[in-house]
Structure formats: C-alpha cells, structure tokens
Chain A
Amino acid sequence: AQSVSQHNHHVILSEAASLELGCNYSYGGTVNLFWYVQYPGQHLQLLLKYFSGDPLVKGIKGFEAEFIKSKFSFNLRKPSVQWSDTAEYFCAVLSFGNEKLTFGTGTRLTIIP
C-alpha cells in the first residue's frame, strides 16, 4: 500500500527565508505526485504536480518541487517566502493504476513578517 510521510509538522520562518518541506512516499512503482496548499479556513488547492518527464517541476506562486526516484522523495521548495505563504501544505501520491489519492499528515507553515 502506498503511504506518504511529511516529517516537518510545523515550520516557522521569517519572510524572505528559503523553504524546503520534506515528502517521502513508500510505493516502489510508477507514481503521480502532488503538493496541495490549504490557506486558513479554505479548501485544498493544487500547488504543483509531477507525472513524468523533468523531475524538477514548477508550480504556482514561485514554488517548485524535485522528484528524486532513488530517494522516494518529492520535496517542496521556495527560495524566498512571503507572509502570504502561511498555510498548511500537503504532499500526496497516486500510484499508477490506483484511484486512491493518499495524503501526508501535512506541514503547517507560519511566516513571521
């Protein structure tokens, strides 16, 4: 069964700091990978996704993520965070041929002005 681990539960950064949130998954076959963001009181929105091709994917609002197959990882990065990036971030995996999207437990990001 597929599973997703997000080891950072709560990250606090100052504005303009660089961000990296970890995501590891456990399925050994072909996977589709996603990062979602949930702003306070809102629903989940897609930040970026990886299906195939270039392992470095760029998403909205300056976010990017790198798929490293050998490490089963899909870490999210942003070179310079803003106060408006305060939100909860979820990594998710969908293994090929499986209709069940599995989420990690989420990382709460707090940006201090």
Chain B
Amino acid sequence: NAGVTQTPKFQVLKTGQSMTLQCAQDMNHEYMSWYRQDPGMGLRLIHYSVGAGITDQGEVPNGYNVSRSTTEDFPLRLLSAAPSQTSVYFCASSYSTSGQHTEAFFGQGTRLTVV
C-alpha cells in the first residue's frame, strides 16, 4: 500500500521561482491537507480539501495555491517562492465514518529551501 506519496523529497528554489509539490493518495480519502512544519511552531495548515473540486484556506495560505481535480491528487503550488517559505511540507489525507473524522495519514514530507 502506497498511502500518501509526496514528490519531490527535497527541492532548492531561487527566490521568485514557482513550483508544484505533488501529493497523491490511494486510499480514496475525501479529505486532504497541506501543512508546513517549522521549528518551534508545530504544523500549520496551509490549505485543505473536503473533496474533489472543493478547497479552502487554512492558517497560513498566503503564497500558496491548491486545486483538487481528482480524489487522489492535491498539488500545492508556490507562485513566487520566498525565503520565508523554506520549510518542510507535509501532505495528509483522512476520511470520516459515521460523521467522525479519522486520524490523518501523512506523506513523507518535502524539504524545501528557498535561496
């Protein structure tokens, strides 16, 4: 079982460049989220999706775009990279059963450095 797959694992960008972090899950989960992890700040929610075609902003959405055209994929786009976006990015998926949210399943992370 692949679970949640993120690519790439590492990336270095120059300020102003754009890129897309890929996230795919094979568990047919309706919920998908993107988090960034920074030292001393835990995980902060960037964007999330409750199903194909539906996305919403999290706590720190500025500078990032998302779309959800399929249940499986939830790419995160950096429009114009800035050094403040240097971080580790995690994608997660989950589902609900009987109205209860299950735990989130996380990808392996993407370590992004913006120089």
Contact = CB atoms under 8 A, between A and B. Distances in A.
A51 B108 CA distance: 26
Interface stretch (A13-21, A75-83, A101-109): A101-109
B42 A99 contact: no
A104 B42 contact: yes
A27 to B, nearest CB: 14
Interface residues of A, number: 22
Contact of B45 (A6, A90, A100, A106): A100
Contacts of B104: 34, 44, 46, 92, 101
Q: Interface majority SS on A: helix, strand, loop or mixed?
A: loop
Interface in A38-57: 42-46, 49, 51
B78 to A, nearest CB: 20
A61 interface: no
Contacts of A34: 103-104
Given A43-B108, A99-B48, A105-B42, A49 B31 contact: no
Contacts of B40: 9, 105
29 contacts: A9-B40, A32-B100, A34-B103, A42-B108, A43-B90, A43-B106, A44-B92, A44-B104, A44-B106, A45-B106, A46-B104, A51-B100, A92-B104, A94-B101, A99-B31, A99-B48, A99-B50, A99-B101, A100-B33, A100-B45, A100-B48, A101-B33, A101-B92, A101-B104, A103-B42, A103-B43, A103-B44, A104-B42, A105-B40
